[in-house]
Structure 1
Amino acid sequence: MRYRLQLLLLLSLLLSGFASLLNAQTTVSETEVFVPFKVYKSEGDSLSVAAIISRPELFITSNINSGKTNTNNTYWVRADLNPVLNHLKSDSVWYLQTGSFYDITYYFQGKNSIEFKEYGPVNTKEKYSFYTPKDGVYFKAENLINERYLFFKIRFYSSNQNFNNLKLKLRTEASKKIESNYYRWKDVVEASRDYLFVGAFFIIFIFTFITYFVSKRLDFLFYSIYTLCLLLYLGRSAYNTVVFLTYDYTVFSLWLHSSLQVFINLFYVAFAKYYLETFKMYPKLNKAIHGIAIFLLIVILVNSYFTITLQLDPHTLVMNIHRLVMSVFAVCAVIYLVIYAKNSLAYFIIIGSLTFTAGALAMLFTEDRHYMMVGSVVEVLLFGLGLNYKLRKDNKEKIQLKQTAHDNQISALRAQMNPHFIFNSLSSIQHLIISGKKESSIKYLNKFSLLMRNLLESSIEANVVLSEEISLLEKYLELEALRFNNSFQYEITVDASVDPEAVEVPSLIVQPFVENAILHGLLKKTGNDKHLRIHFNRKNNHIICEVEDNGIGRSVSETKKSDMKKSKKSRGIEVTEKRLQLISNSEKDTIEIIDKTNEKGEPTGTLVIIKISI
């Protein structure tokens, strides 16, 4: 029950606040009244306010031929409040909204004389305050000159400003303060759009900027800066910093607003250059981008000069030329890419640019910047998808190149293995022939030719199924047994956990260890008890091959080698170790060699454990 009462109380407060807000908005609309005025154009700034007040005939016939203004002239506005004098009696303090001008001076009746107040961003000495209006003045009935007039002196910095849309709006002090201090519903909607836009673009900027530092890709750098410029230009009303700059640092604010438009285009073409890789994919477009970049840099310099000196007419001309040139370039670039697009990356640029252009044109005709914001959001999202697509494409190509290089390296090592094996086999045949064992040498040569045929057939692929590898080992062992008069026995076994027809292993990966066991272990042993065992089993993602012999062991074998051969490692085993490391991605402990001993510590053979990744 207690929580229900609290909820009802909260709802009643919200409803009352909302009702007050609606009432305040109603009050604003009810008290709006327009004040009639006359305008007189003065050559230069030679007339004083006293001269203007003393000569009412100046305002009888207007001397302004058109709505356009001249920056060398001074314009006097006489607001006539006589028609609303009775209305003024309903309140003590009123607000006359004149609109925003760079330089305006307000003249009113003081206690003993005519007083004035300057406002507008160019000449105001007051620092910006959120609650201080800058588009009009507060006054009382006793401030009226001759009990009916208020005078304003306006100086223009651009001939594009005119009086056609000038309206003097009379408002109560309360209604103006409500507008200044409270949010209306349309203000909430407007602000929520701006904050969503700023928040989304800020996240995109941070993400892409971090991605640049990780990847060192210039397309991500220019994309992030392009996003930041759009954020500052289109989302400027979402933060009061811009309003503060407008009033306290007018020149800088004007420069920033116009320069951001140029920077947006500059970083856009820079992004397109590196994203599309125009230097190698589109050479003609690449030259055009270089020319446009130089043009934009010149525009920034010239515009900066005209802005700092407050020459707004040349400033406007430069910006219009900039917009025209960029529009022509954008159209030509899109047509060029449509005709000569070499991959799907170009279509992200085409669609994104068209979307942004549509939003910009909608803003131009409707004067609603939210259309351009929507176009920018869609464009930035498309460019982001394009960057992600390109990044994945480049990574895939890098992986393929790395895999190709990896396969080539393994192939090169296998190519080193085959000559080593062939040389040893031919040496054995030579030995049989020299020994006069003609029948054995012919039999050996037949088996060798059959083995070589199998090797050539399997050399096309880097891997073979385990059953083929075992078949090659059996043929090799038959050759070696024939060569050495069947002086040793061998067996090859496969654990039940391994399917020889389903598991692939690198070809000839075990043969060097088998050869080493025969030559350096078994053949140097006296007697007839010479046995070689090869066993395959599986452990996790590895095939474990054990090559075990009961030969003389490594320690005895080393002592029997000549001094020259002590430091020489078997070429076949050295190559195989490198192959295993490449296959296992530099995994350690792919080969383990165990010296077997008896109870007395005497060597009884060697066990080699080979771990092959699958």
Structure 2
Amino acid sequence: MTSNLIYAQNSINRKSTPLHFEVYKTELDTLSISDVLSNLSIFNSTLLKQEITHPSLTYWMLIDFEKHLTTISKDTLWFLKMPKFEHATLYKQTKNGLSEEKYGRFEFSEKDRSVLYGAGIPFKPENLIYNRYLILKLKRTAYISNISNWKIGFASTHVEHLTRYYYSTENIKRLAPYYIFSGICIIMFFLTLAFYIYSQRQEFLYYMLYVLFLLLYLNSEVFKLHEVFFGSYGLLSYAFFQISQMAINLCYILFIIHYLNTKTTYKRLHVALKAIAYLLVFLIILDAFFFGFNYLIGHIYLLRFEQLIMTVFGLVGMIYLIWKSVNKLAYFVVIGSFFYMAGALALLFFSDARYMIAGSTLEVLIFASGLAYKIQEEFKQKLRYQEEAIRNKNKALRAQINPHFIFNALSSIQHFITDNNKTGALKYLSKFSRLTRNILESSMESRIVLSDEIKMINDYLALEALRFDNSFKYEIIIAPKVEQDIIEIPMLIIQPFIENAIIHGLLNKKSKDKSLVIKFNDKQTYLECIIDDNGIGREAAQKFKRHTNKSRGLEVTEERLKTNNQSDCNIEVIDKYDANNLAAGTRVIIKINY
């Protein structure tokens, strides 16, 4: 609770009496308070107040109470109000002489922090130097600011009077956006982390990191994260939270790349996003180098350059996505980025961080909605693919048992019956009925045990041999290591290639030495199926295909493999040639991953 109250104190806009002050700047930090007191004429900032600060310069401020001496004599304790400087030393008069107390953000202790960001820097009327002045030695190293914007005042508000303000309605309203934003970010972080662990998808990783850095950066003051991580608000702590600004933008860019899949959907934008990502990585490294060597002016200009680049790119990117959007995902990016930029601009013009918090909250929620929408659309697409696969599977079944095959097989069986060859008729009728039953039963599953597939192939070859008067020989070879009853393969993947080899390769061959060899080999990580024929080859078969239809089973199988982009099959077709470079058949190698 203490950290939140400190932030509330810093946000209090109580009335204070403005003070006149003069400023003197010096490049060498060797001037002592004695030197300053011996020559107060150096303070003449009529022109100096129009300048901007520089991290390498030291500023001395002479605060004049001449017009308020009567006022401060009415109370024993007063509080000096001033901006938050990184380095600030207050000189005041005490009974033992001049004393100095450090109140810079990079210097003061936890107790001093509460005093400074509460009522202000305490002083008593007797602390005024020459009964008139307080002197401050300042350095502004974290930012560049106009000296004319510095406001110094004093008030008599006591620290104990602030307690009632901490729990006031005004203060609760002021802090509520920070608590809401923090709660949303924490919920989104853990939800996205869970999704990333489950799916390993990069967009969830970068969205999670984006939310994390956004939470750390925007709420670093509210929850005193400087002290939590680094023990104090020092240069190292400042460097971390400043560099986190660029980390936010880097995670944002990487999130957009993977969320929109810009590599395929927005190729020009993808090139620009990659360039920005590499630039941000370079700037982060360069900024860390600047902090390492205490070159803070380099950091200031680098940060301004980065903010300019991201602002211009953000505007151009939103326009490009509106113009070239290929789906609704782009609109989530555009709308979310718009609210974030609107909050940033409102912060710039109104100097109220709550606008930035509001814009960031809306962006986080919109991006989360975009991720949910993307998951939903991909799920619907997966269902469409499954429906398409089922339709293709049914087509494949119909192609496997085509009318010509059924008619010719039954005609051959009828021929056995008319020849009174009951044994042959019953034998082949049994094979035909078993093949038909197995194919229909297998239609309920997408994969089949290899041993069942081999039985169907064997029955099919026997019937095909019968159809064509045993004009070709066939052989099925199974390697000893192949575990037929364990290995599962996609159903009806092999048969269409066997049919193609018979119809177009072997039957068109004039010589009688027609053979077909089917081999199954265990390759440790995949099953290798080789369909080897000594037919006329693919080139010669093309001439016959002009007059005959392409095997419907092979056509449907190729369509299945193209539709299923996660197919675990790899098919290679090799043309064979003899010693005279004449076509000697075709070898088809099908690799099926285990």
TM-score range, shorter chain: 0.5 to 0.7
Task: Indicate how the Cα distance of structure 1 residues 199 and 128 shifts in structure 2: closer, same or farther if over 3 A, else same.
Answer: farther
**1:318-350 alpha-carbon deviations (Å, 9 max, x no partner):** 112112222222233233323332222222222
Contact 2:62 2:136 in 1 (8 A): yes
Task: Indicate how the Cα distance of structure 1 residues 576 and 92 shifts in structure 2: closer, same or farther if over 3 A, else same.
Answer: same
User: What RMSD in Å do the two structures reach over aligned CA positions?
Assistant: 3.7
Equivalent of 1:573 in 428, 434, 437: 437
Say yes or no: does 1:434 pair with 2:434: no
Give the whole-Å Cα distance in 2 for the aligned partners of 1:569 and 1:278.
53
**1:214-241 alpha-carbon deviations (Å, 9 max, x no partner):** 2222112222222222222333344232
Equivalent of 1:224 in 200, 203, 208: 208
Matches of residues 326-475 of structure 1 in structure 2 within 5 Å? Answer: 326-417=310-401, 421-422=406-407, 425-435=410-420
Give the whole-Å Cα distance in 2 for the aligned partners of 1:222 and 1:143.
55
**1:500-549 alpha-carbon deviations (Å, 9 max, x no partner):** xxxxxxxxxxxxxxx99x988xxxxxxxxxxxxxxxxxxxxxxxxxxxxx
Give the whole-Å Cα distance in 2 for the aligned partners of 1:386 and 1:155.
45
Q: Which residue of 1 aligns with 2:87?
A: 103
Say yes or no: does 1:93 pair with 2:70: no
Task: Indicate how the Cα distance of structure 1 residues 330 and 88 shifts in structure 2: closer, same or farther if over 3 A, else same.
Answer: closer
Shift of 1:368: 2.2
Give the whole-Å Cα distance in 2 for the aligned partners of 1:217 and 1:60.
62
Q: Which residue of 2 aligns with 1:285?
A: 269
Task: Indicate how the Cα distance of structure 1 residues 161 and 582 shifts in structure 2: closer, same or farther if over 3 A, else same.
Answer: closer
Task: Indicate how the Cα distance of structure 1 residues 388 and 82 shifts in structure 2: closer, same or farther if over 3 A, else same.
Answer: same
**1:397-455 alpha-carbon deviations (Å, 9 max, x no partner):** 2222233334434443454445775455223421453359xxxxxxxxxxxxxxxxxxx
Give the whole-Å Cα distance in 2 for the aligned partners of 1:293 and 1:240.
30
| Paired amino acid for 2:414 | I
Give the whole-Å Cα distance in 2 for the aligned partners of 1:328 and 1:290.
16
Task: Indicate how the Cα distance of structure 1 residues 407 and 107 shifts in structure 2: closer, same or farther if over 3 A, else same.
Answer: same
Give the whole-Å Cα distance in 1 for the aligned partners of 2:115 and 2:95.
24
Q: Which residue of 1 aligns with 2:474?
A: none
**1:280-313 alpha-carbon deviations (Å, 9 max, x no partner):** 1222211111111101111111122223444332
Shift of 1:62: 5.6
Q: Which residue of 2 aligns with 1:35?
A: 19
Matches of residues 262-341 of structure 1 in structure 2 within 5 Å? Answer: 262-341=246-325
| Paired amino acid for 1:270 | L
**1:173-221 alpha-carbon deviations (Å, 9 max, x no partner):** 6257626983443221111111011111221222122112222221122
| Paired amino acid for 1:38 | E
Q: Which residue of 1 aligns with 2:138?
A: 154
Q: Which residue of 1 aligns with 2:116?
A: 133
Task: Indicate how the Cα distance of structure 1 residues 143 and 265 shifts in structure 2: closer, same or farther if over 3 A, else same.
Answer: same
Q: Which residue of 2 aligns with 1:204?
A: 188
Shift of 1:264: 2.0
Give the whole-Å Cα distance in 1 for the aligned partners of 2:41 and 2:90.
20
**1:241-266 alpha-carbon deviations (Å, 9 max, x no partner):** 24767982322332233222212221
Contact 2:103 2:112 in 1 (8 A): no
Contact 1:44 1:73 in 2 (8 A): yes
Contact 2:18 2:151 in 1 (8 A): yes
Of 45-54 and 316-325, more deviation after overlay is shown by 45-54
Task: Indicate how the Cα distance of structure 1 residues 69 and 385 shifts in structure 2: closer, same or farther if over 3 A, else same.
Answer: closer
SS at match of 2:122: strand
Shift of 1:55: 2.8
Identical aligned residues as a percent: 30
Matches of residues 548-567 of structure 1 in structure 2 within 5 Å? Answer: none
SS at match of 1:39: strand
SS at match of 2:22: strand
| Paired amino acid for 2:65 | L
Give the whole-Å Cα distance in 1 for the aligned partners of 2:164 and 2:88.
21
Matches of residues 55-134 of structure 1 in structure 2 within 5 Å? Answer: 55-59=39-43, 64=48, 66-124=50-108, 126-127=109-110, 131-133=114-116
Give the whole-Å Cα distance in 2 for the aligned partners of 1:251 and 1:88.
36
**Corresponding pairs, count:** 434
Greater RCO, CA 8 A, separation 6+: 2
Contact 1:420 1:572 in 2 (8 A): no
Task: Indicate how the Cα distance of structure 1 residues 172 and 152 shifts in structure 2: closer, same or farther if over 3 A, else same.
Answer: same
Of 79-88 and 207-216, more deviation after overlay is shown by 79-88
Moved over 6 A (4+): 243-247
Contact 1:127 1:247 in 2 (8 A): no
Shift of 1:29: 5.1
Give the whole-Å Cα distance in 1 for the aligned partners of 2:164 and 2:303.
33
Equivalent of 2:225 in 209, 229, 241: 241
Shift of 1:395: 1.6
| Paired amino acid for 2:369 | L
Shift of 1:61: 7.3
Task: Indicate how the Cα distance of structure 1 residues 149 and 361 shifts in structure 2: closer, same or farther if over 3 A, else same.
Answer: closer
SS at match of 2:58: strand
SS at match of 2:196: helix
Give the whole-Å Cα distance in 2 for the aligned partners of 1:134 and 1:379.
31
**1:542-577 alpha-carbon deviations (Å, 9 max, x no partner):** xxxxxxxxxxxxxxxxxxxxxxx9xx9933333333
| Paired amino acid for 2:396 | A
Task: Indicate how the Cα distance of structure 1 residues 168 and 247 shifts in structure 2: closer, same or farther if over 3 A, else same.
Answer: farther
Contact 1:40 1:62 in 2 (8 A): no
Shift of 1:274: 1.2
Give the whole-Å Cα distance in 1 for the aligned partners of 2:56 and 2:320.
47
| Paired amino acid for 1:272 | I
Higher Rg: 1
Shift of 1:148: 2.5
Give the whole-Å Cα distance in 1 for the aligned partners of 2:132 and 2:381.
81
Matches of residues 43-62 of structure 1 in structure 2 within 5 Å? Answer: 43-59=27-43
In structure 2, runs of 5+ residues without a counterpart are: 1-8, 449-594
Task: Indicate how the Cα distance of structure 1 residues 425 and 394 shifts in structure 2: closer, same or farther if over 3 A, else same.
Answer: same
| Paired amino acid for 1:178 | L
Task: Indicate how the Cα distance of structure 1 residues 355 and 82 shifts in structure 2: closer, same or farther if over 3 A, else same.
Answer: closer
In structure 1, runs of 5+ residues without a counterpart are: 1-23, 437-483, 485-514, 521-564, 585-614
Give the whole-Å Cα distance in 1 for the aligned partners of 2:27 and 2:319.
51
| Paired amino acid for 1:56 | L
Task: Indicate how the Cα distance of structure 1 residues 52 and 179 shifts in structure 2: closer, same or farther if over 3 A, else same.
Answer: farther
| Paired amino acid for 1:355 | F
Task: Indicate how the Cα distance of structure 1 residues 190 and 224 shifts in structure 2: closer, same or farther if over 3 A, else same.
Answer: same
Give the whole-Å Cα distance in 1 for the aligned partners of 2:95 and 2:144.
38
